[in-house]
Amino acid sequence: MHSDNNIKLTSAEISQLWSAYMSDSLAICVLKYFLEKAEDPEIRPVVEYALKLAQAHIEKLTLIFNDEKFPIPYGFNEEDVDLTAPRLFSDAYFLYYLQQWSSLGLISYSLALSLASRTDVFDYFSECTEDSKKLLKKTRNILLTKGLYIRAPYVTTPEKVDFIQKQNFLTGWFGERRALTTLEVSNLHANLQRNVLAKTTFIGFSQVAKSKEVARFITRGKEIASKHIEIYSSILIENDIPASVSWDNQVLNSTVSPFSDKLMLFHVNALAVGAIGYYGTSLSTSSRRDLSTHYLRILGEVLKYIEDAANIMIENGWMEQPPKVMDHDKLANN
């Protein structure tokens, strides 16, 4: 299977391969449903392309795991998706979903690539990175063609290079606030877009969840996303930057779930986990104190939501245990 087959997988490689398998097994279920319901002749091919990528990834990951005699994760399968369920989302939602999914793939695969030591693992994540780039390009082109692409805000080009002279560059809560930097605008806009997608997803999932506990929990996620949208929008509007985005009309009125509660809760948790990385980056690149305070508060709120999601999954026997190191003390005591 690989040229350096006497080299064991490192902990970093195992964690990234395991996470990739879980993600792609979920994606296959979601994309099969999308493909079953998509009607637009331009959108269907890109959904089909994304599905084939996820299926190819699972095949390659399975080969690596089998070669290492590593247990194949259970993940998600046909029992987690109902292709006969009525349409829950619009075709436009499918397109926005793929745009965010491929963007997240670029980030996660780049990290996995940087952690890969073995040649076959490095090559696998290199291919995945290229796959995400191609999918993002296809999705972007269709969004542009249909006039659905949401661009980051335009700003005035600076006339000259300048240097910061005063400490008030860092202020935010009191006194006159400086204008946002383009990096801060970029982060606010991107986080706004992600929360709009998350809110739309939560609206759809909450109205079809079979368990009342899961429905209430996902509704709570929708409310958190709504609050974050309001925060990001108000900051942009305060700086005379347009921020109005709404996809609420992308959710249809079906109450029959196309997905298992287990899949939807895992998906909701994955969105929240992904947000932590984005918010951390935004925090580290925001110099205005009011922005830093907002991000810190938002991070705490999302972390609590993730913890509560884990508790519900554990209570229902839905949380698959990630690979862990050997507990030598426990073995010695036994």
What is the per-residue pLDDT for 248?
60
pLDDT tens for the chain, residues 1 to 334: 445 656 899 999 999 999 999 999 999 999 999 999 999 999 999 999 999 999 999 999 999 999 999 999 999 999 999 999 999 999 999 999 999 999 999 999 999 999 999 999 999 999 999 999 999 999 999 999 999 888 877 777 777 766 666 555 555 545 567 788 889 999 999 999 999 999 999 999 999 999 999 999 999 999 999 999 999 999 999 888 887 666 667 899 999 999 999 999 999 999 999 999 899 999 988 888 889 999 999 999 999 999 999 999 999 999 999 887 665 566 566 6
Amino acid letter at 154? Y
Going 187 to 192 to 195 to 197, the CA torsion angle's sign is negative
Domains of the chain: 11-145 (1.20.1260.10), 179-315 (1.20.1260.10)
- Predicted TM-score (pTM) of the model is 0.89
C-beta separation of 257 from 210 below 8 A? yes
Task: Provide the 3-class DSSP secondary structure of residue 334.
Answer: coil
Residue 106: exposure state from Cβ atoms within 10 A (0-12, 13-18, ≥19): middle
What is the per-residue pLDDT for 30?
98
What is the per-residue pLDDT for 193?
92
Angle at 36 between CA 34 and CA 42, to 5 degrees: 70
What is the per-residue pLDDT for 167?
52
Q: What residues contact residue 151 under an 8 Å CB cut-off, 6+ apart?
A: none
